[in-house]
């Protein structure tokens, strides 16, 4: 289907997924079927603008114990000197 | 006494009276799991040693005036964060993740004296209706192991039905408590949105996700809800209310109860045997003094497309956080940051999660947002209005839980659209934020459990529980256990 078959590559780029050709084909087919089904929504008249949820009052700001930094860092796949290690985020293309 | 056939409250009473010790009950459950879970695959993690240690400690602390569920062993769906215990969401993406904190509901259960036996299998990130999309393999239905237990809380449902635990906490975004409860012969309840904290529940579609109980009967559900409902400063979507007292107010007098049968839920696609069982529920409620009327809620026509647009949109946003940086799985090979994200996510997510992420990305993208997302929000508004109109003349709505009974393993994977469409009766309560309960109401020709659903107005948990309790005084479907289960 026009809407999803070709753009499935663009959608996966936006969603940071790199699909294999087989996955791309299978998921494009399933997306096509679902989007076709979702077309039923086109018959819906736009209702009144959906009300924004009422603002949640902020709690008073106060210092409280939080989760332990070391324990949180322990969860990271790669850590060095108390920092999470990732490839370079500015000027991509460099090594870690 | 057959321990594993007791309800949670019956076991709680037996513990209080000294007829059973907490370690005995825990041991009985762990033995059942060890013997039978190889084929059912209901648990991703079993905490045998920890549970026994906790049982011993709790036994020493036994005294009058404790929670009615003090010492009663339970299972947690593996999308609830548990301090020091792996939480997988049924996905490779959370490989190695051990939360440094407990979800609020887990804290509450521990405070009340719960013994956590382990973590229940689920569809990956709770996306599915069969527990077949789990990275840890499918769970089987204890009533018929060639069939699915439903999903996404299928591990919890199968385990409670099989006698591995006396109750479980699951989560429900589009029916993920009620549908597996229906397929496994249990009583399950999705609470009013905002009445149970989502802090520590791994998010799928945050505006609809809600934690709730999977139990053997309505009274157990009342006891569990009393334990877990309440305002939580760590979840700003929770609301203040008069929580607690559901169990003490549980009554089976339903004289004058106005029961509505939405005609849209008894039409095309509904298996005749399922329709028949649910109609029989209506007759039982009438025999106890309820009045049954047919109502029409035409707004329910588009609930499935609206639900899948909204849930996928929220999922694509919620699952963006899994990038291999701070926790969980990271791909081994990548040349730069973008490749690290892409390879991590591509290798970490299964097919169903990828599909829903792509669909969510699509409906939120420029040019399609108006055509899909905004229309789905409009339908959501209409569904709320339609249900409000129905509750002006009814106290509860009675519907089937699903159009069918549990399918064979593999059937739904071959027909995913059919699986999505079978959420027809459960998603309205999620779209409208209403409480809804599923209870067993007999079997079909294959001996498979049929579920009936009761939907109530906002904060109408008590009327749902009372109605189910009244029904369960007249019937014994909730007392039936699968063959092969139970030990003395």
Work out the minimum CA distance from A77 to partner chain B, whole angstroms: 6
Residues 6+ apart with CB under 8 A from B412: B129, B130, B132, B148, B418, B419
Q: Give the pLDDT mean for B372-397.
A: 97
Task: Convert B395-431 to b/e letters by CB count within 10 Å (16 or more is b).
Answer: bbbbbbbbbbbbbebeebbeebeebbebbbbbbbbbb
Domain boundaries, chain B: 3-264+275-296+384-479
pLDDT-derived band of residue A45, with 50, 70 and 90 as boundaries? confident
Write the DSSP string, B45-62. Answer: EE-HHHHHHHHHHHHHT-
Instruction: Give helix then strand counts, H and E, for chain B.
Output: 16, 11
Q: How far is B337 from chain A (nearest CA, A)?
A: 5
Q: What is the pLDDT of residues B84-143, one digit of tens each?
A: 999 999 999 999 999 999 999 999 999 999 999 999 999 999 999 999 999 999 999 999
Q: What pLDDT, in 10s, does the model give residues B426-479?
A: 999 999 999 999 999 999 999 999 999 999 999 999 999 999 999 999 999 999
> Is A1's pLDDT higher than 80?
no
The helix (H) or strand (E) run that includes residue B158 is helix B154-162
Residues B362, A35: C-beta atoms closer than 8 Å: yes
Query: Tell me: the pLDDT tens digits for B294-348?
Result: 999 999 999 999 999 999 999 999 999 999 999 999 999 999 999 999 999 999 9
What is the third-level CATH fold of B3-264+275-296+384-479? Amidase signature (AS) enzymes (3.90.1300)
Q: Determine the average pLDDT of the residues in B257-282.
A: 97
**Confidence tier at B484 by pLDDT (50, 70, 90):** low
Instruction: From chain A, pick out residues whose CB is under 8 angstroms from the CB of B359.
Output: 31, 34-35
**A33 contacts on B by Cβ (under 8 Å):** 417
Q: Is the confidence at residue B2, as pLDDT, over 60?
A: yes
Is B117 in a helix, a strand, or coil?
strand
Q: Which two tokens stand for residue B300?
A: 């329910």
Q: Give contacts of A84 with chain B, Cβ < 8 Å.
A: 325-326
Contact A16 B371 (CB under 8 A): no
Nearest beta carbon to residue A16 from set B306, B345, B417: B345
Distance from CA of A71 to the nearest CA of B (A): 7
B321: Cβ contacts below 8 Å, ≥ 6 apart: none
Burial of B194 (0-12, 13-18, 19+ CB in 10 A): buried
Is the pLDDT assigned to residue A51 strictly greater than 80?
Answer: no
CA distances from A32 to B29, B301, B351 (A): 46, 21, 15
Alpha-carbon span B351 to B377, nearest angstrom: 26
Phi and psi at A70, nearest 5°, equal -65, -40
Contacts made by residues B97-100, CB under 8 angstroms, sequence distance 24+: B97/A75, B97/B327, B97/B328, B98/A75, B99/B200, B100/A67, B100/A68, B100/A71, B100/A72, B100/A74, B100/A75
CB atoms < 10 A from the CB of A93, how many?
11
CB contact under 8 A, B100 and A67: yes
Catalogue all structural domains in chain A, each as residue range(s) with its CATH number. Answer: 2-42 (1.10.20)
Sheet order of strands, B258-262 included: B43-46, B115-120, B73-77, B167-172, B210-215, B187-190, B436-443, B449-455, B396-400, B258-262, B291-295
């Amino acid at each position: 289907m026009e809407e999803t078959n070709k753009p499935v590559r663009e959608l996966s780029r936006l969603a940071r997924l790199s699909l294999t050709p087989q996955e791309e084909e299978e998921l494009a087919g399933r997306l096509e079927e679902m989007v076709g089904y979702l077309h039923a929504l086109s018959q819906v008249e736009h209702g009144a603008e959906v009300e924004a949820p009422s603002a949640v009052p902020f709690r008073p700001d106060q210092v409280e114990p939080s989760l332990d930094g070391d324990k949180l860092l322990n969860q990271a796949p790669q850590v060095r000197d108390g920092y999470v290690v990732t490839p370079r985020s500015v000027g991509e293309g460099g090594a870690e | 006494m057959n321990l594993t056939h007791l309800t949670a409250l019956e076991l709680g009473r037996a513990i209080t009276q000294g007829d059973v010790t907490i370690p005995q009950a825990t041991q009985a459950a762990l033995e059942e799991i060890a013997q039978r879970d190889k084929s059912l695959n209901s648990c991703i993690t079993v905490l045998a040693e920890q549970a026994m240690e906790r049982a011993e400690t709790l036994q020493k602390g036994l005294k009058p005036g404790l929670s009615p569920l003090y010492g009663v062993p339970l299972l947690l769906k593996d999308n609830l964060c548990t301090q020091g215990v792996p939480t997988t969401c049924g996905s490779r993406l959370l490989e190695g993740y051990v939360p440094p904190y407990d979800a609020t509901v887990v804290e509450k259960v521990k405070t009340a004296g719960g013994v956590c036996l382990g973590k229940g299998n689920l569809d990956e990130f709770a996306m599915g209706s069969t527990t077949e999309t789990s990275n840890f393999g499918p769970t089987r239905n204890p009533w018929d192991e060639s069939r699915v237990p439903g999903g996404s809380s299928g591990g919890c449902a199968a385990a409670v039905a099989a006698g591995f635990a006396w109750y479980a906490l699951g989560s429900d975004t589009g029916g993920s408590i009620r549908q597996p409860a229906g397929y496994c012969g249990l009583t399950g309840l999705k609470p009013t949105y905002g009445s149970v904290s989502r802090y520590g529940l791994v998010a799928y579609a945050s505006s609809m996700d809600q934690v709730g109980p999977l139990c053997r009967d309505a009274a157990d559900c009342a006891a569990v809800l009393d334990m877990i409902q309440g305002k939580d400063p760590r979840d700003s979507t929770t609301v203040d209310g008069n929580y607690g007292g559901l169990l003490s107010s549980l009554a089976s007098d339903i004289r004058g109860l106005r029961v509505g049968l939405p005609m849209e839920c008894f039409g095309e696609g509904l298996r005749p045997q399922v329709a028949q069982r649910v109609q029989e529920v209506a007759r039982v409620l009438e025999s106890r003094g309820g009045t049954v009327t047919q109502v029409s809620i035409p707004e329910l026509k588009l609930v499935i497309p609206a639900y899948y647009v909204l849930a996928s949109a929220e999922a694509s946003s919620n699952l963006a956080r899994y990038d291999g940086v701070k926790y969980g799985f990271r791909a081994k090979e990548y040349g730069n940051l973008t490749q690290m994200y892409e390879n991590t996510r591509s290798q970490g997510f299964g097919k169903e999660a990828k599909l829903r992420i792509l669909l969510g990305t699509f409906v939120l993208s420029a040019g399609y947002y108006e055509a899909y997302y905004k229309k789905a929000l409009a339908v959501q508004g209409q569904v709320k209005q339609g249900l409000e109109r129905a509750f002006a003349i009814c106290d509860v709505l009675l519907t089937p839980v699903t159009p069918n009974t549990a399918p064979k393993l593999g059937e739904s994977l071959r027909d995913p659209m059919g699986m999505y469409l079978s959420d027809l009766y459960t998603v309205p309560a999620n779209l409208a934020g209403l409480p809804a309960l599923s209870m067993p109401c007999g079997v079909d020709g294959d001996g498979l459990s049929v579920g009936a659903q009761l939907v109530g107005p906002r904060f109408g948990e008590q009327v749902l529980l009372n109605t189910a309790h009244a029904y369960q005084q007249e019937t014994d479907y909730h007392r039936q256990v699968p063959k092969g289960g139970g030990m003395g």
